[in-house]
Amino acid sequence: MKILVAVKRVVDYAVKIRVKPDKTGVETQNVKMSMNPFCEIALEEALRIKEAGFAEEVIAVSIGPSQCVDTLRTGLAMGADRGIHVETNSSFLPLTIAKILKSLADVENPGLIFLGKQAIDDDCNQTGQMVAALLGWPQATFASKVVLDKDKNVATVDREVDGGLETLNVDLPAVITTDLRLNQPRYASLPNIMKAKSKPIKKMTVQDLKVDIKSDIEILEVTEPPKRKSGVMVSSVDELIDKLKNEAHVV
Report d(CA 104, CA 79) in Å as an integer.
20
Least separation in angstroms between CB 239 and ligand AMP: 43
Q: Is the previous residue joined to 173 through a cis bond, with omega within 30 degrees of 0?
A: yes
Nearer to ligand AMP, 128 or 138 (CB): 128
Asked if 234 contacts 243 with a C-beta cutoff of 8 angstroms, the reply is: yes
- Listed in order, strand segments (DSSP E) in the chain are 2-6, 9-11, 33-35, 57-64, 82-87, 112-116, 139-149, 154-161, 164-171, 174-178, 201-204
Nearer to ligand AMP, 36 or 103 (CB): 36
Report d(CA 122, CA 124) in Å as an integer.
5
Nearer to ligand AMP, 119 or 148 (CB): 119
Nearer to ligand AMP, 110 or 116 (CB): 116
Least separation in angstroms between CB 122 and ligand AMP: 5
Report d(CA 239, CA 80) in Å as an integer.
59
Residues that bind ligand AMP in the complex, under the rule CB under 6 A: 6-8, 36, 38-39, 42, 61-64, 94, 97, 115-116, 118-119, 122, 124-128
- DSSP tag of 3: E
Residue sitting closest to ligand AMP (CB):
116
Nearer to ligand AMP, 217 or 232 (CB): 217
Least separation in angstroms between CB 99 and ligand AMP: 12
Least separation in angstroms between CB 169 and ligand AMP: 23
Report d(CA 31, CA 199) in Å as an integer.
27
Least separation in angstroms between CB 240 and ligand AMP: 38
